[in-house]
Structure 1
Amino acid sequence: MSSWAHGPGHGWSWSMPHRLAGGAARLRRTAPGLVLAVAVAVVATVLGRWVPVVGGPVFAIVLGGVVAALFAPGERMSPGIAVAAKPVLQASIVVLGTGLSLQQVITVGAGSLPVMLGTLAVALGGGWLIGRMLGVGGATRILVSVGTGICGASAIAATTAVIDARKHEIAYAVGTIFVFNVAAVLAFPALGHLFGLSDHAFGLWAGTAVNDTSSVVAAAVSYGGDASSYAIVVKLTRTLLLVPVVIALALWTAHRQAGADRGLRGIPWHRVLPLFLLGFLAAATLDTLGVIPPAWHPTLSLLGTFLITVALAGVGLSLRPSEIRGAGTRPLLLGGILWIMVAASSLGLQALTGTL
C-alpha cells in the first residue's frame, strides 16, 4: 500500500475515517427518535385514509402529542425527533416544489402580495398597540407579532438574533405561537368548509393566516384539492417578508443601543434566507424546464405528503405542556387576538381584492 494512505501529513487517510465515524455516531443518535416519528406517521397515514376529512398530517401531530404526554420521550429520542420536526419538513417542501412550475410560483406570489402585506401590517400594528395595552414586554411583543405575521418559530429565531431577546421572552413567544399553530391545524379546515372556500381561497387564507410552515401545510393538505400547493407558495412568499422586517429591526436596535456596532453585520442571513427555500425554488425551476418527468409527479406528491406527516409527528412528539403553560396569560391573549385579527383580515382582504 502506498505511503500516502497512512502518512500523518496527508489529510485524506485521516479525515475520511473520522468523517465516517462521525456520520455513524450521528445516525446512532438520531435513529431512535426518527424511527419513532416515522412509526407515528405510518399510523397517522392509515388513520388519515380512514378519515380523510381529518387527514394524516393532523392525526400525526395529535398522535405525537398523545405519545409525548403519555410516555415523555427522553433525551435518547430528542435528536431524532428534532430531525423529524425540522429538516424532514424542509425536505418535504423541496419535494413538493417538484410539482409546481416557476410560473405558478411567481403568479401566485404576486397575486397574493396585497393580502400578505395587509395581514403583516395588521399583525405588526396590532401587536404594538394591543401588546402595550396588555402590558406585554417589548421583546415578547415584537416576537409574538413577527411570529404571527410572517412565519412562526422561524421568524422568532431570526428576529431574536437582532433584538437580543432573553430566553424567557423567546420561550413565551414560541409557546404562544405553538398553541395557535395547533389550533389552526385543527380548526382551519373545518372553518374553510363551513365558509365554502375554494381550494384557491383556502390556500391563500392558510398561507397568510397560519403561523409556522408545518401548520400551513398540515391545514392545507387536510383541506384537500389544490389547496396545499397554493398555500405552500403563498407561505414561502410570505417568508421572504422576513428579510426587510429583520433588517428594519436590526437597524432599529442598533439605533437604540448607543455606541453599539451592529447594523447589517448582525443579521443572521442563514436564518433569514433558509436553504430549503432556495431548494424549493430550484425544484420548481427543474419542473418548469421539464427535467422532472410528469409521470413522477404522483409519486413525488405522495412522498412529500408522507414527509410532512413525519415532520408533524416530530412536532407532536416534541410537545411539552410546561412550555405551553409557561407562555403565561398575557402573551397568550396577545397571540390569540392577533391570530383572530390576521385570520379575519385575510378573508376581508381577499373579498376586497376579488380573490375570495
Structure 2
Amino acid sequence: MQFSPAATLPARLVDRGAEVLPGVLVTTAIALIATGIGAVFPVLGSAVPAIVIGVLLSLLRPRAMRGLAATDARIQPGITYSGKFLLQLAVVLLGVQLSIGSILQVGLESLPIMLTTLFVCLLGAWLVGRMLRTERRLTTLIGVGTGICGASAIAAVAPVIGAASAEIAYAVSAIFLFNILAVVLFPLLGHALNLDPHTFGLLAGTAINDTSSVVAAAGVYSTAALGFAVVVKLVRTLMIIPISVGLSVMEARRSADGARLTGRRIAKLVPWFLVGFIAVAIINSLGVIPDAPRDALVQVSVFLIAMALAGIGLSTDVQALRRAGWRPLVLGAILWMLVTLTALGTIAVTSGWR
C-alpha cells in the first residue's frame, strides 16, 4: 500500500506557501496601511481603505507590470488566495464571538426577512429582466447573486443552469459594483435611520450581496453589528441549496443539457467556512476559550478581512464592468434597491427598529 499523498504533504504545503507568499505579502502591506488609516479615522475601519487601495492599484497594475509579466504572475496566486481563503478563514474565526444558541436565535429571527427578500428578488429578476430583455441565464445569475450571496451563489448556480463563462463574468462584474457601494452607503443609511447594531446587522446580513461586503459594511458600522451580520449572512448562504435544486429541476425540464444535482453535489454546496464557523461557535459555547485569546482571535479575523478585501480589490477587472454594458447594471441596481427596501419594510413589520 502506498501512502505517497500523505508522505508528500509537507513538501506540497511548502510549495504552496512559496507560491502564494509574494501576493500575500502585498495584501499584508495593504492591510497594514489600511489598519493605520482605520486607526486615524475609526469610522472607516480597515476594510474600506483596504478594498479602495486594492481597486486603485488594480487600475495601475497593467501599466506598472508592462514588461514585468513574471512579477505579475508571481503575485497573482497570493492575491487570489487572500481574496478567497483568508476571507473564509476570517469568517471562521468570527465564530469565537458567538454561541450555538445565538446562531439558532438569529436564524429564527432572520428567516422571515430572508425568505421575503429572496422571493421579491427572484420575482423582480424575472419581471425586470424581461422588461430589459437581458439574457435568461444572465438574469438568473444576477438574481441569485443579489438575493443570496453574490459571487458564491453565482459560482454555485452557474453549472446548474449551464451558464457560459462570459455570462458568469457579466454577472459578477455587475454585482461587484453594488458590493462596493454597499460598503460605503449602508453604514450611512444605518446612521441616518438611527439603527442600533442589532438591527443594522440584520439589515446588512439580508440586503447586501456578498459576504465580504457584509463583513466590511457591518465592521464599519460597529463591532457589535459585525458578528450578528455575519451569522445572518451565513444562514442566508444556505439558501443556495434549495435554489440550486429548484433551478436544476427547471433546467432538466427545459433541456437535457442542464446540469443535475446529486446528493453528493448538494452536500458540496454547503461552504466549508460555514461548517468551520459553527464548529468554532460550538467550542466557544463550551466556555473553553479564555477572554484574552478570544479577543486576539477577533483582532486577527479583522486583519484577515482587510487582507482579503485588499486581494479582492487587486483582482477587480474594471474593464469587465465597462464591457458588461448598462442593462445588467440596471437590473442589478433595481434588484439591489428592491432587496434593501423589502428588508427594511419586513424588519419594521416583524421586529421593529430598535
Establish whether TM, by shorter chain, passes 0.5: yes
Q: Which SS does the other structure have where 1:264 is aligned? A: coil
1:312 and 2:309 aligned: yes
The equivalent residue for 2:30 is 40
* Residue pair 1:85, 1:311 contacting (<8 A) in 2 also: yes
* Distance in structure 2 (CA, Å) of the matches to 1:126 and 1:261: 23
Work out the CA distance in 1 between the residues paired with 2:352 and 2:28.
Answer: 38
Tell me which structure has the larger Cα radius of gyration. Answer: 1
**Partners in 1 of 2:233 and 2:90 — Cα distance?**
14
The answer to whether residue 11 in structure 2 is matched with residue 21 in structure 1 is: yes
Q: Report whether the alignment pairs 1:53 with 2:43.
A: yes
TM-aligned CA distance change 1:336 to 1:261, over 3 Å: closer
Q: How does 1:268-283 map to 2 (within 5 A)?
A: 268-269=265-266, 271-283=268-280
1:27 and 1:295 map into 2 onto residues whose CA distance is 29
Q: Is the 8 A contact 1:154 1:271 kept in 2?
A: no
- How far apart, in 1, do the equivalents of 2:130 and 2:258 lie? 29
In structure 2, the partner of 1:168 is: 166
Aligned residue number for residue 180 of structure 2: 182
CA distance in 2, matches of 1:308, 1:221: 10
Alignment partner of 1:301 is 2:298: yes
Out of 317, 340, 345, the residue aligned to residue 342 of structure 2 is: 345
Shift of 1:168: 1.0
- Aligned-pair distance for 1:347? 0.6
How far the C-alpha of 1:300 sits from its partner, in A, is 1.4
CA distance in 2, matches of 1:316, 1:164: 28
TM normalised by structure 1 equals: 0.93
Quote the RMSD (CA, aligned, Å). 1.7
Change (3 A) 1:262 1:67: closer
Match of 1:133 among 114, 131, 134: 131
Q: Which residue number in structure 2 is paired with residue 329 of structure 1?
A: 326
Q: Following superposition of structure 1 onto structure 2, how do residues 107-256 of structure 1 map, counting pairs within 5 Å? A: 107-256=105-254
Q: Equivalents in 1 of 2:15, 2:85: separation in Å?
A: 18
Q: 1:17: Cα distance to partner?
A: 6.3
Distance 1:306 1:341 in 2: 32
Q: Which sections of structure 1, spanning at least 5 residues, go unmatched?
A: 1-9
- Percent identical pairs in the alignment equals 46
5+ unaligned residues in a row in structure 2: which ranges?
Answer: 66-71
The alpha carbon displacement at 1:109 in A equals 1.2
Q: Deviations over 1:219-241 (max 9, x none)?
A: 00000141101100100010011
Hey, what does 1:63 align to over in structure 2? 53
Could you say what secondary structure the match of 2:275 adopts? helix
Q: 1:90 to 1:139 in 2, by over 3 A?
A: same
Residue aligned with 2:114, SS: helix
Please give the alpha-carbon distance, in whole angstroms, between the structure 2 residues aligned to 1:346 and 1:31: 41
Contact 1:158 1:271 in 2 (8 A): no
CA distance in 2, matches of 1:120, 1:265: 24
Shift of 1:267: 7.5
Deviation at 1:343, TM superposition (A): 0.7
Deviation per CA, 1:237-259: give whole Å up to 9, x if none.
1001111100101111111124x
Q: Residue 92 of structure 2: which of 79, 91, 94 is its match?
A: 94
Do the aligned partners of 2:98 and 2:281 also contact (CA within 8 Å) in 1?
yes
Quote the offset at 1:55 in angstroms. Answer: 1.0
Paired with 2:106 and 2:93, the residues of 1 have a C-alpha distance of: 18
Q: Which of 72-81 and 337-346 deviates more?
A: 72-81
Deviation digits for residues 248-289 of structure 1 (CA, Å, limit 9, x no counterpart): 01111111124x695432984365201110000101111111
Q: Say if 2:55 and 2:313, in contact at 8 Å, map to a contact too.
A: yes
State the aligned residue count. Answer: 345
AA matched with 1:83: Y
Contact 2:214 2:229 in 1 (8 A): yes
